[in-house]
Amino acid sequence: MKVLKYILLVLLLVAIGACMWRGWLFRHAVVYRSVGLRANYAARDSNLIHYIDSNVSLSATPDVAEIVEQAEILTSRRLEFTFGRNENDPNRLIHTHTANCIGYAAFFAGTCNYLLAQHHLSEWQAQPRVGQLFLFDKNMHHYINDPFFKDHDFATVENMLTGDVLAVDPTVHDYLLIDGVSYVK
């Protein structure tokens, strides 16, 4: 009986640790590699602009990390994941409320670029990307025969002057609350 209690305690501690360090574990286990770019949509729809302006919570002089965090939050609040075909333009997604990973990345990039422009951080640009995920250096997409999983979209936010890049997966953020991902060009 003592052995069973010990095993259950160890499993509980491992589960708690995995939850607490899920971002670190995810970033060390999964690497995103870009295989292309997607269309980058500017926020033009008045409903989208109103949604961003009325729900954003930024300091007076935000840095790019704060803007990226807010764009992730706004994307998660507005969209629900669907496996079906859907719009990808954030100016239309604001009305449909559902998207797959392509729409999540486009909505995030459009929101992020709008906020970057509003706060005069024009040297930064968010870009939706088509990618592949590698789990411990193994391409996960080679093991799935469904065309829906042939790739996965995420976004990068790049400083055009310095080349610094932040990579995020708005879909993973929505479900696992993981803010950044590991990215290799």
Distance CA 79, CA 36 (A): 23
H or E stretch at 118: helix 101-118
Average pLDDT over every residue of 51-69: 90
With cut-offs at 50, 70 and 90, classify the pLDDT of residue 146. Answer: low
Structural domains of the chain sorted by starting position, each given as residue range(s) with its CATH number in brackets: 31-184 (3.10.620)
Provide the 3-class DSSP secondary structure of residue 143: helix
Q: Note the pLDDT of residue 88.
A: 92
**H or E element in which residue 48 lies:** helix 46-55
pLDDT > 80? residue 90: yes
> At what angle are helices 22-29 and 2-20 packed, to 10 degrees?
80
Which residue has better confidence, 2 or 142?
2
Q: With contact defined as beta carbons under 8 Å apart, do 184 and 30 qualify? A: no
Confidence band for 37, pLDDT divided at 50, 70 and 90: very high
Model pLDDT, residue 148: 60
State the pLDDT at residue 18.
63
Determine if the pTM surpasses 0.85. yes
Confidence bin at 25 (pLDDT 50/70/90): confident
Cβ atoms of residues 104 and 171 within 8 Å: yes
pLDDT of residue 27: 83
Please tell me which residue, 185 or 46, carries the higher pLDDT value.
46
- Computed from CA positions of residues 92, 95, 101, 107, in that sequence, does the dihedral angle turn out positive or negative? positive
Q: Who wins on pLDDT, 4 or 92?
A: 92
In this structure, of 27-31, 112-116, 160-164, the range with the lowest mean pLDDT score is 27-31
